[in-house]
Amino acid sequence: MRRLHYHRVDVFTDRAFGGNPLAVFTNGRGLGAETMQAIAKEFNLSETTFVLPPDDPAHDWRVRIFTPGSELPMAGHPTVGTAFVLAREHLIRRDARETTIVLEEGVGPVPVRVEFEGGEPTFAEMTQPLPTFGPVLEDRQSVAAMLSLEESDLEADLPAQIVSCGVPFMYAPLRSLDAARRARPRVDLMERVAEAHGIPPQVFVFTREVEQEGSTVHSRMFAPGLGITEDPATGAASGPLGCYLVSRGVLPAGDIVSEQGIEMGRPSLIHIRIEREGDRVTAVRVGGRCHFAGEGFIEV
């Protein structure tokens, strides 16, 4: 038996029981993919990460990310939360008010900037790949149906579309908070639409009506086909969300705050920064605060 040490953090929140929970194993050496997958399934969190030495010595660490059902090439809250844990455990540089590290993930090198207050990490922000814009989903009735909504619940002036900053998501703009609260995923319909477009069955819904002062959009993300009925905070989807909003002229480039997880009782605030030159997005950054929830051991 091997005794493995893990850390538990809540990501995209500054308090206990908010944000998106994450388990981080800072020493994943010698673990096979099957064991990592089994551990992630055992923890049954949205994601669990395993830290390994980098393939390129110019980088800081390699990170593998697992949902309860599969491995991901990149994800937002695991990247932000893992960087926070590495900083907290003195496994990255801590000699300034902020530092930037590079984590190797399935999409390649991912820069992460970590801010410190009083010598302790408080905020982490990842740089995501530049966006690719996929097809618009023309069948609005099918989009509404896979969310158990009516076509009239969709935002009239914005289309549903597939966008990716490393991981593709279907984006469904809704007209109101009420519609967002009533949304319920239909797995069979989601899988049918996703298969038609060759992407994972995950749908990100948002509305410009918000609950919290200072928020820009209200969001929810459903991925039951990946073992995640609903995700309380989805960093990998927040970058493309910002790109969608800026590219369609809904919001100017700059700072965007997405509130998510409220319907689950785990309120999250995800900070998005989009830079743009002309019609082209030139930088995508997603970050937030983290709360350390505890640590422990598992024997495998």
Domain range summary for the chain, segments of one domain joined by +:
3-128+289-299, 132-284
**CATH for 132-284, options being 3.80.30.20, 3.10.310.10, 3.30.450.20, 3.60.20.10:** 3.10.310.10
Question: Packing angle between helix 76-88 and helix 235-247, nearest 10 degrees?
Answer: 130
> Same topology for domains 3-128+289-299 and 132-284, yes or no?
yes
Place of tokens 């239909």: 186
pLDDT of residue 195: 86
Residues linked to residue 219 through DSSP beta bridges, in sequence order: 206, 260
Spatial separation of the C-alpha atoms in residues 123 and 235, rounded to whole Å: 14
Buried b / exposed e across 129-146, counting CB within 10 Å, b at 16+? bebeebeebeeeebbbbb
pLDDT of residue 226: 67
CATH of domain 3-128+289-299: 3.10.310.10
**What does DSSP say about strands 61-66 and 98-105: parallel, antiparallel, or unpaired?**
parallel
Q: Which of 34, 47, 213, 299 is catalytic?
A: 47
- Joined together, the tokens standing for residue 288 give 């937030």
Q: Alpha helix locations (H) across 167-229?
A: 177-182, 187-197
Are residues 46 and 71 in contact, defined by beta-carbon separation less than 8 angstroms? no
One pLDDT digit (tens) per residue for the chain, 300 residues: 899 999 999 999 999 999 999 999 999 999 999 999 999 999 999 899 999 999 999 999 999 999 988 899 999 999 999 999 999 999 998 878 999 999 999 999 999 999 999 989 999 999 999 999 999 999 999 999 999 999 999 999 999 999 999 889 999 999 999 999 999 999 999 888 888 888 888 899 999 999 999 999 999 999 887 677 899 999 999 999 999 999 999 999 999 999 999 999 999 999 999 999 999 999 999 999 999 999 999 999
CA atoms within 13 A on the CB side of 129: 19
Q: Coil, strand, or helix at residue 56? A: coil
Spatial separation of the C-alpha atoms in residues 162 and 297, rounded to whole Å: 39
The verdict on whether 89 is a catalytic residue reads no
Are residues 251 and 245 in contact, defined by beta-carbon separation less than 8 angstroms? yes
Spatial separation of the C-alpha atoms in residues 171 and 174, rounded to whole Å: 10
